[in-house]
Structure formats: structure tokens, C-alpha cells
Amino acid sequence: MADAAVGAVLGEAFSQLFAKVEDGVNKTRMFESILKRLRSRLGPLVPLVEQIRRLNREVGHPEEEIKSLIEQMKKGTKLVSKCSKIGWWNYCKKFKYASKLCELEEEIVRFFQFDLQASSVRNGLETLARVNTIGENMNLVVRNGGVSCAVPRPPEFVVGLDVHVKQLKMLLLKEEVSLLVLTAPGGCGKTTLVKMLCKDKEIKGIFKENIFFVTVSETPNLKVIVGKLFQHKGYQVPEFQTDEDAINQLEQLLLNQIKGSKLLILDDVWSGSEFLPEKFKFHMPNYKILMTSRDAFPRFRFTYKLQPLNDKDAMTLFRHSASLQDGSSLIRDKDIKKILKVCGGFPLALEVIGRSLCGKSAEVWHSWAKKWSSSILNSDKGLLECLQKSLDFLDDKVIKKCFLDLGLFPEDQRIPVAALIDMWAELYELDEDGIDAVANLHELTSRNLANLVVARKDTSDHLRKYYSEDFVLQHDLLRELSVHQSNQEPIEQTKRLIINISGNNPPKWWAEQKRQPISAHLMSISTDEIFSSSWWNIEPSEVEVLVLNFQTKNYTLPEFVEKMDKLKVLIVTNYGFFHAELRNFELLESLPYLKKIRLEKVSIPSLCKDPIQLRSLKKISLFMCNIGQAFRNCTIQVSDALPNLMEINMDYCNDLVELPVGLCDIVCLKKLSITNCHKLSALPEEIGKLENLEVLRLKSCTDLPELPESIRRLRNLSILDISDCLSIRKLPKHIGELHNLKELHVEGCLRLRSQLPESILDLDQLMLATCDEERAKLWEPVKDFLTNLQVEVVGKDINLNWLPVQDF
């Protein structure tokens, strides 16, 4: 057909359908509500039909798309005619034709809403997929090393910094100032001041999108810092050969690709790392560096010293933290002033001590005021002593232990809530679902001892318990406090052993150790990018939780791991920029009680080649891992290597194209979660063999086109989550055989537009279905039959928690 003919035929088909719907509204009571809604949809589209030819040329649609719409309208006209002939008693046909009417409405609305109004509608879903991928990359930037280079948000309540913002801005903007040091003791508010400065209208107007925020910390990795800056601006990250190569390439990027004024913020530069800002000092116009440090660094010419809060501002912040209302509190002013004096105007101390005393009786306030008779904040040690007193208010010993456990993770890095749940379930007998653990984190957050960040808010009770995207942040001084507390006992007696190795230099006590046994139940070893994986001997026979943090391209598990006869939880995290090869994995075979393994950003060797049998392993979590080789070239069955595995979590594993068939032989598996694996394109038919599977999550697997029909055999499945699976077009025909299914999540399944399979009516245990607004129409014919079903329309989770957030 020629373009003119296409337009004419479409116009005629549309007119006939509109007339038939109009007639049906007046004559067909059984479908009256659906037909009325369809009429309201069609009415505003009349003028658009007249513009088809012009829009078709502008948008560039192939003829087939309009032909398809014409056929849909012709079928729709016949469908409405048939609906008028169905008797009120025929419920089966009522469901069938109601579903078809909803599908007709969906098809027509989709065409006119997207195909004609978008500039390139044929690629609409592909564009959405690309947007999803961009969002994925944003998340990777954030997760890669803990924070991105965007400026974190300041606290909601800030006092006493307005004057400092003005003074700091005036100094920074002076022409002769290219590098400015903001200095103050720890906990004085340096980082908060920088965040406030970056919100200033004049600063935002000058530097616009070119403000880069980098947390340096005690052991900076220059190549990782430069990689973040590249990725932050959307450029592919080169694999830098040396630090000098990284700096040279960054200079070229800033000089040639990023136009306009630029501000680089280096936050938390430690003594001994003052060389770092000089590395980033390039000779280019309108480029400035602002660094924060506890040290003044006299070698640098321009310095701004931040002082503690004055008495008035300190009182305001303290009262806010302690929730004291002016004039309505029974707490004596004399006691408040004594405790206030102890805090010395340091915002961190004011907030932590204030929250610790919040809600306590007047007697408790008076008792503590007597103990704190004078200010002790005259040094970093004094501040730690002050903060330590807040731990005395933690009546629950488990919560105090949870606070100390946060010190096992590196400074200024995000701590995955899922990792903490794994640890605490084994150490303190907290529930496996994480409710108790998260409750403890909320308690620590309420006392300003940590900051729990919830990445998304889910509707169902189950998904609220799924904490894979949540994390914890902690002020570096509070981490120092937890480490300090853990180091009070001799090495041989401590219950929590935290080891930081710089280069290839072990702690003195380790080098001198003569095979003395260590009684620690928790051990953390952090190494930098220079470490050569050459380990020294140790006897950690009592360790139940081992946390390994590293930055190198290749990482070898320590030989002494095979001596950890009581090890239950292993957490291995690569904080470098690229994936790292993990070696010595076979050492884990000798561990009789190892129940949980969590690996992040590592390439996993074959688990079944040598072979390795992990008989006690119950749960394995793989985050941002390369797992393509893990289940290949197997000499034994996966089910023999992992005979008691009950839970698998794979998140952001971008080389996962097809779920390994061998995993389907692990018949004891109860939970399988594959999320954000954007290249996953197939599930094997053998998945139906997982007869004990209770939870199947496939969220944001954007290339997955369908679920295999064998899923019908998962008779114990209670939760199925395929939300944001952009490529899924239909649900399995026999989904109704999942008789124990209680929750079904399909929000964001943009291509799921066909009617639900009739077998959906057999899901009499289905209590909750979550979907987006477009998918909600598919459920309307179902709700009359599944009386216990609650259909919840979930709005797009526009959540900025993946962005850098305020710590304290």
C-alpha cells in the first residue's frame, strides 16, 4: 500500500472501531466499564489519526507497523461485536474476552502514546534498555570503591558553618589560589563544610558540572581515583600501566575533553599522603584543588583552619541531637552544660553523645554529668575517649558487638548489609532473613554511630527483607573507635583481629610470631595494590568470620586459611578498579564448617575442575564477579561439589549469559537470586528440577526473553520476581501449576502486553501481584476470580540513594 492508502485504511478502521465501542457501551453491560475506558482512550486519538502520514514520515516507521495496527483495530471491531453476544452467566468467556479487550486497549494506547509521539518509537524499548544499562553503569560507579565523584549531600541539619562557607569561598576563588588546604581535627566538620560550599550558588555557577569529589583515606590508590574520575564523566577507563600513566591521561582528559572551570576536592588526606595533591596539580586555567586534612601541611601556601563550634551553635546542635525542647525538658541546664563542655564544640561528639542521651531520664543525665566533670577534647585521643563513652549507653551487648564489627571493613567504603547479615546470623544467632540485623543497624543509626542507607523501598514484606542493595556508611573516626576498642587486648587474646598491611610489610607482631595460636573469632586483613600476596604464617584456628579486602589484580588466598577449622563465613572484596583473579580457592575444601561465601569483583576459577567439594556450604553470594569459568570444564557434578547449597545470589555478574545447567542439579536449593545480570539470555529447561526452590528472583535481567515452561514443576515456589525484565513478552502458559505461589512481581516488564494465561486463575494461593500502571490492566479480569489477590501498582522507584550520601 502507498502512504496515502495506509492513512485512509487506518482512518476507516479506527472509525469503525470507535463506532462499535460507542454502541457497545450502550448495549453491553457485562463489559460496560472496560468499554467506557476504551472509549475514553479512543476519543482524544481522533485528530492524531488524521496526521498519520506526516508522523509516519517524520518518525520513519516501516509500513508493517501501521498495517499491524490496522489489523488490530479490525480484530477489535469484531471482538466488541462478539462481547455483545455473551450471556451474563458465562464467566469463562467473560474472563477470556475481558482479557482480550484489555489487551486491545493496551496495544492501541501503546501505539499512539509511544510510536507516534516519540522521535524514534521503533527503538523505544531498546532505548529504555539502554537507559537501564546507563543506570547500571551509574550504580557500578557508585559501588566501585564505595563512592562516586559526585559531591555528597550535606546533612539536613547544619549549624555554625554559614560564615565559614563565605570565608572559604572567598579564599578559594582568589586568582592566586590553585591549591587550598582545609584543616581541622577529626570530627570538626571539614567534609560537611565542603558539601555546603559545593551547594553555594556562586560555586555551582562557576564550576557547574565539573566539581569532582574524591575520598582519599589512609591508603590511597591513585589509579583507582583516576579511574573514578574517568568513569564519572562517562569515559571508558583505560587500564593504566603506572601511576604516572594514570596522571598523564587524566591531565589530557581535563585539558582536552572537559571544558570550563574545574574543582577537584580531595577529602580526608592523611599525613604521609601530601604528595597526592601535587600529583593532581596541573597547569591549566580555571582549575583548582581543595583538600581536607587533619594536618595543616605547612608546605602548602594557602590554608583555612576550621574551628570547633562556638557555645551557642554547639548548644543548638546538641539540643537537636538529644531532642531537647527549650523550656519543656526536665534535664537540668547545669547538667547539659557540663556534658556540652565535654564535647568541646566538635559536631561529631555533639551528635553522638546527644543521640546516646536522647530519651534518658534526668537521673541518668545527672549521673553522667558528674562523671564528665571537665572537657577532655584536647587531642584526637581525647575525642576517641569522648566517643567511647557513648558506647556505655548501648545496653544491648549484641548491638555493641555489631558496632565493633563495622571496623572489619576498610575506611570510607560502603559496607554491604547482606555481608553483615551473613556474619551476624552465625555469630549472634540472629535470623537469616536479616530483620534482627537491620534492626540493630537502625539502632546504631539512631545513635549516629553508623548510617544505614536503604537503596530502594519495596512493597511486599518479602522484598523488604531483601537487603542486597542496602549498605552502611561510617565516619572514619567512629571506625577508628571500633578498631581502637578491638585492639585493647593483646593480639593473642583479642576476639576481633583487624590487620592493615601496607606494601609487603606485615605488622611487627606478625613478623615476630612463633606459631602462637590466635584466639580471635573475627579476622579482617586489608592489603593495598602493592601487596604481592606473599603471606606469613599464622595460627588462626578459632576464626569463625574472615574478611579479606584487597586492591591487586591477582589475589591469592592465604595458606593459613586451610587451618581455620571453625570458619563459617568468608567475605572477599576487591576494592581495585578492575576484576581480580582469585587463586588458592581449593584451600576452602578443607574447612568443615564453612557455610557462607561472599565474593565481590573477582574472577572465579572453576569450582568443579580439580575438583573442589564444599560440603558444608549453604549460601554463596557473587557480586560484580566474572563467573563464566566457575562451572565449566567440570570433572564432577556441580551437585557433588556443592551438595548442601541452599541459596545462590548473583548480582551484576555481567558475563553470565546462560545459567549453568549443573546448578539445576542442586535439588536442595531454596533461593535463587539473579539480579542486574544484563546479559543473561536464557534459563535452562532443567530449572524445573529444582523441586525445593521457594524463591526465584530475576530482577533487571534485561535480556532475558522468557521463562522456560519447565518452571511449572517448581511446586514449592512461593515468590517469583521478574520485575524490570524488559524483554519478557509473556508469562509461561502453565504458570497456574505453581500452586504455592504467593507473590508475583512484574513491574517494569515493558514488553509484557499480552493477556495473562488462563491458568493464572489456578493460583489460588496468590496473595500479592505487583506491577506498573500499564501492566495493571492485565490483572483486571483476574481479580474477580482470585478473591484473596491484592494487586499493587508500583510507581517507578526514582530513588537517589545510589548517589553518594551524607555520612554524618
Q: What is the pLDDT of residues 707-717, one digit of tens each?
A: 999 999 999 99
Q: Which of 376, 395, 430 is the last residue of a domain?
A: 376
pLDDT at 320: 92
Taking residues 15-36, report their average pLDDT.
72
β-strand pairing of 211-217 with 179-183 = unpaired
Same domain, 267 and 319: no
Which of the pair, 33 or 600, is modelled with greater confidence?
Answer: 600
Residue 57 resides in a domain: yes
Residue 355 resides in a domain: yes
pLDDT at 142: 39
Residue 223 resides in a domain: yes
Same domain, 298 and 317: no
Q: Which of 344, 361, 376 is the last residue of a domain?
A: 376
Residue 97 resides in a domain: yes
Same domain, 235 and 361: no
To the nearest whole percent, how much of the chain has pLDDT over 70? 81
Residues 6+ apart with CB under 8 A from 662: 608, 631, 634, 637, 638, 639
pLDDT at 55: 46
Instruction: Identify the band that residue 119 occupies on the pLDDT scale cut at 50, 70 and 90.
Output: very low
Distance between CA atoms of 560 and 536, rounded to whole angstroms? 9
Q: Would you say residue 752 has pLDDT above 50? A: yes
Q: Would you say residue 65 has pLDDT above 80? A: no
Instruction: Identify the band that residue 115 occupies on the pLDDT scale cut at 50, 70 and 90.
Output: very low
Taking residues 327-338, report their average pLDDT.
78
Lowest-pLDDT range of 579-583, 634-638, 668-672: 634-638
Cell of 462: 518479602
Q: Would you say residue 201 has pLDDT above 80? A: yes
What CATH number corresponds to the domain at position 336?
1.10.8
pLDDT at 30: 64
Summary mean pLDDT of the chain: 82
Q: Would you say residue 509 has pLDDT above 60? A: yes
Lowest-pLDDT range of 89-93, 252-256, 430-434, 509-513: 89-93
Same domain, 186 and 297: yes
Same domain, 73 and 100: yes
Taking residues 704-729, report their average pLDDT.
94
Q: Which of 305, 332, 349 is the last residue of a domain?
A: 305
Q: Would you say residue 198 has pLDDT above 90? A: yes
Q: Would you say residue 698 has pLDDT above 70? A: yes
The partner residues of 671 in beta bridges, in order of sequence, read 647, 695
Same domain, 263 and 337: no
Residue 33 resides in a domain: yes
Instruction: Identify the band that residue 124 occupies on the pLDDT scale cut at 50, 70 and 90.
Output: very low
**Mind listing the pLDDT tens digit for each residue in 356-396?**
888 888 888 888 888 776 555 555 667 787 888 788 778 78
Instruction: Identify the band that residue 425 occupies on the pLDDT scale cut at 50, 70 and 90.
Output: very high
Lowest-pLDDT range of 107-111, 247-251, 671-675: 107-111
Distance between CA atoms of 747 and 197, rounded to whole angstroms? 40
Cell 546507563: give the residue: 134
Instruction: Identify the band that residue 753 occupies on the pLDDT scale cut at 50, 70 and 90.
Output: confident
Residue 776 resides in a domain: no
Same domain, 345 and 226: no
**Mind listing the pLDDT tens digit for each residue in 484-503?**
888 888 888 889 999 999 88
Same domain, 294 and 328: no
Q: Are 638 and 664 in contact (CB under 8 A)?
A: no
pLDDT at 22: 73
Same domain, 154 and 297: yes
Same domain, 190 and 300: yes
Same domain, 7 and 115: yes
Dihedral of CA 574/579/583/588: which sign?
A: positive
Q: Are 718 and 741 in contact (CB under 8 A)?
A: yes
Which of the pair, 753 or 123, is modelled with greater confidence?
Answer: 753
Question: Which ranges constitute the DSSP H helices of 144-274?
Answer: 162-172, 190-199, 201-207, 222-232, 243-252
- The total of structural domains in the chain comes to 3
Q: Would you say residue 133 has pLDDT above 50? A: no
Q: Would you say residue 546 has pLDDT above 70? A: yes
Residue 674 resides in a domain: no
Residue 783 resides in a domain: no
Does the global pTM surpass 0.85? no
What CATH number corresponds to the domain at position 211?
3.40.50.300
**Region for residue 12 given its phi and psi (left: phi exceeds 0; alpha: psi -120 to 50; beta: otherwise):** alpha
Distance between CA atoms of 507 and 721, rounded to whole angstroms? 48
Q: Would you say residue 1 has pLDDT above 70? A: no
Distance between CA atoms of 130 and 143, rounded to whole angstroms? 20
Distance between CA atoms of 57 and 792, rounded to whole angstroms? 40
Same domain, 157 and 301: yes
Range of the domain at 22: 3-119
**Mind listing the pLDDT tens digit for each residue in 284-318?**
989 999 999 999 888 899 999 999 999 999 999 99
